[in-house]
Structure 1
């Protein structure tokens, strides 16, 4: 095996790269970016819409997951969430006032087609038409994700959702409805959010919906098979995506002039040591996390390391399927939050029943000075740049949209969220550096526009530019310092002392009302 020396270079030159990145502090504006570069923010349907039991919507696997008490001990479900279903006009006004170019959101499959297949729900259709019309009337581009972990529960009950090949037909029919009804105004379609994360965590370790696993020692799954189902789910996601992409290109793309892509979560992956074993293990981890999807999307087959380690448990593409999947993305959506050290672990291959992690034959360790997970994500744009550069080298310089990149804080910590401002400043500056290095990045979306209902932590943790007063029946939105900073950046203004003073006032209000 050829050792990818880029990982060693990344590992050995951390200090030098960090020092070089400091130089762009306070030295860039929005005008430094290409005119067509998009700046936006995002949410997803279950996390923001609410109205879970209104106007014909039926449950998704995320409803079931939340009702089972998996969203943290503080808030139990997304029945109300931010109530964007009723407040979308006000939220779009806030987006326009901020100066967003684009808004990334997802369509709730079980709101539009409540049973996953069959009749369209007219109320659901009306809502998404209204939201899209409101966005476009304000000059904000809608970037739509079709599946953000909220598969209709009816399909999970009928045939286990993504575990079954039957999902391909039903997902394609759902996508067809969306392309037909909204494609005259929506130009950017993402079929699946975090395909890799959903397959591993939903069907391997069981900490995402639909909570299927058999080997997890942490999550109490009542059903599933960690050795086979992650690979089946991923395989069917790829085939469903490719089927929808083929339909879009054949039936809609020429007329609608849009683009279709797929979304992955990209982790920073760094060898724990500079040994040959850890460097090779890091390359193997890259294959198991990124190549798992990017190899088929680029070359029509899974990485050789996966074929070797997973063996007959890894599904295979027929010649027709390989050609269908290969080249089926116009862009890649990337979500980036965490970085991990990788340590070689060949002994895991001796296990009888292996999951995705054991097949990878590597251990992951948190990237932090004291070896523990930190509450706030570290500010490490150089690692994101390194991962994207490696992806460019391996799979080509295709267009990339950074769909989710955000800093978490404790929900009631403060509206004076300087850590989020610092995070955004460093990553946006880092993206400019990436563009100058030749990476084909087309857009940057802050996660999240609002404090939303988070998958694993309910309302305990916060990512939003806007604070939502969940204890207030009106669910009042209040801008944080990060909202002011982002708005000023988008409008080529600078943050001054008045904004800081205003934020201090907001913090006092927050302390008194929480």
Structure 2
């Protein structure tokens, strides 16, 4: 597998990177003028683990960029903390926050790493949530557009920054369960909220905000900076629960449309899919004719966050209290075919737009010997390559995540990182996992994975491999019998 999966087989200019987000990586939650985001309020109000320090990336960004260089990344995806740059959400720009991002971006550029910037990663200022309800209110569109204008003006002219400028993200599954800020869902799960309507209202306002920002960039900055503006969605590969799990068994409608189509439909065609309108009914917001025209074609690319496959069943009866979860009706299962299925579906149904895989990875307990993650990455990167050969317009792949982070749903219990972070160490020491060595070897064109010499566990693995080679050389019948017994 390793010899066949080489970076050189991907198109010229293909972006290979990794990523993190501001709240999960930066720390310095109360430093240099930053004010609380909805994430700060959410975790502290529930006495949960938090990102107050996280990886301390705010102070260790130079060290982290050096790790990116050593790994061989040609791109890095990160987000800007709105409440660090504009603490109250609008108005006063925080000079220290502004300087931090300028320094970080310049550090990336100086080392030949292309910045891929996410302007919003579920962490808007708490001030706006308190004032008018955040994304449930259309006032958010104006404030987000003004925030984006500051980012374009201050960072867009920096070398290479403007290539991929804006990525709005939206996870309706998390919104409806109340498991992320602002923690709203239908009672009794939450003290306030309406899972039947609010996820669709939030998604609708996000689309309108994206269209507004896209229009601003094209009118004011694109001719000067030459950048692009895109929208990101969480996707799942679907198969019917009753059907065999085959590579081409993608259940396309109406279930896939309920997730990806909620965003990709309006972005491509200016409106929600008909099957979604039928399923959701009056709970689904309606675009005016002007809004439809603004949203349609507003994304220069689509960002994909792909982790899971889902098996779905046809729902014979409607639930007594419909909400986003019941509209979906899925069960999760991890399979690399899901990546191919999603990319093929977008190619076939949405005009084959430029795509970036912005998040793809697997969670594990913190462990330097993360062999399952290597197997996962090999399979999914291989699926991306196969999709490209089948005509998908995919232009980049980013591992989630570059290092262990404060994970938004699991805190510090599970991690996605290529690099281990010792969160018990005040200095947050970083150490490469096996997956970091594998990804580095892949990016640098090595045809075989070199086992690191420093780790005692790796020495044990090397000893085991030598024993196996001895068995093969001295008594090949051992392995023949062994495999025969398994079969």
| Structure 1 residue 400 corresponds to structure 2 residue 355 | yes
- 1:498 Cα deviation from its structure 2 partner: 4.3
Find the aligned partners of 1:177 and 1:131 in 2 and give their Cα distance.
Answer: 17
| Structure 1 residue 90 corresponds to structure 2 residue 63 | yes
Find the aligned partners of 1:460 and 1:254 in 2 and give their Cα distance.
Answer: 46
- 1:486 Cα deviation from its structure 2 partner: 0.9
Q: What are the Cα deviations for residues 201-241 of structure 1, in whole angstroms up to 9, with x where unaligned?
A: 22x221111110115x6xx4121111211111010000000
| Structure 1 residue 328 corresponds to structure 2 residue 305 | no
Residue aligned with 2:313, SS = strand
Residue aligned with 1:321, SS = helix
Aligned residue in 1 for 2:322: 354
Aligned residue in 2 for 1:310: 280
- 1:407 Cα deviation from its structure 2 partner: 1.6
Change (3 A) 1:304 1:415: same
Aligned residue in 2 for 1:363: 329
Aligned residue in 2 for 1:481: 434
- 1:303 Cα deviation from its structure 2 partner: 1.0
| Structure 1 residue 445 corresponds to structure 2 residue 411 | no
* Contact 1:40–1:445, Cα closer than 8 Å, also in 2: yes
- 1:386 Cα deviation from its structure 2 partner: 1.4
Aligned residue in 2 for 1:295: 265
Aligned residue in 2 for 1:190: 166
Alignment of 1:127-206 (within 5 A): 127-185=100-158, 186=161, 187-193=163-169, 195=170, 197=171, 199-202=172-175, 204-206=176-178
Aligned residue in 2 for 1:430: 383
Residue aligned with 1:169, SS = helix
Find the aligned partners of 1:294 and 1:49 in 2 and give their Cα distance.
Answer: 31
Match of 2:34 among 33, 44, 57: 57
Aligned residue in 1 for 2:212: 243
| Structure 1 residue 265 corresponds to structure 2 residue 237 | no
Change (3 A) 1:260 1:303: same
Find the aligned partners of 2:140 and 2:459 in 1 and give their Cα distance.
Answer: 47
- 1:381 Cα deviation from its structure 2 partner: 2.4
Residue aligned with 1:410, SS = coil
Aligned residue in 2 for 1:20: none
The Cα RMSD (Å) is 1.9
Find the aligned partners of 1:82 and 1:495 in 2 and give their Cα distance.
Answer: 31
Find the aligned partners of 2:279 and 2:9 in 1 and give their Cα distance.
Answer: 46
Change (3 A) 1:104 1:507: farther
Change (3 A) 1:496 1:503: farther
Aligned residue in 2 for 1:10: none
Aligned residue in 1 for 2:180: 208
Q: What are the Cα deviations for residues 150-201 of structure 1, in whole angstroms up to 9, with x where unaligned?
A: 01100000010000010000000000000000011312123312x2x1x342
Change (3 A) 1:504 1:336: farther
Q: What are the Cα deviations for residues 447-491 of structure 1, in whole angstroms up to 9, with x where unaligned?
A: 101100001211110111110111111111111111111111111
Find the aligned partners of 1:205 and 1:417 in 2 and give their Cα distance.
Answer: 30
Match of 1:39 among 8, 13, 16: 16
Find the aligned partners of 1:25 and 1:343 in 2 and give their Cα distance.
Answer: 36
Q: What are the Cα deviations for residues 5-50 of structure 1, in whole angstroms up to 9, with x where unaligned?
A: xxxxxxxxxxxxxxxxxxx553132111122001000000000000
* Contact 1:168–1:236, Cα closer than 8 Å, also in 2: yes
Residue aligned with 2:196, SS = coil
Find the aligned partners of 1:242 and 1:312 in 2 and give their Cα distance.
Answer: 23
Residue aligned with 1:261, SS = strand
Equivalent residue pairs, number: 453
Residue aligned with 2:18, SS = strand
Find the aligned partners of 2:408 and 2:46 in 1 and give their Cα distance.
Answer: 11
Aligned residue in 2 for 1:502: 454
TM-score by length of 1: 0.85
* Contact 1:25–1:426, Cα closer than 8 Å, also in 2: no
TM-score by length of 2: 0.89
Pair member with larger Rg: 2
Find the aligned partners of 2:455 and 2:305 in 1 and give their Cα distance.
Answer: 29
Residue aligned with 1:409, SS = coil
Change (3 A) 1:224 1:416: same
| Structure 1 residue 490 corresponds to structure 2 residue 428 | no
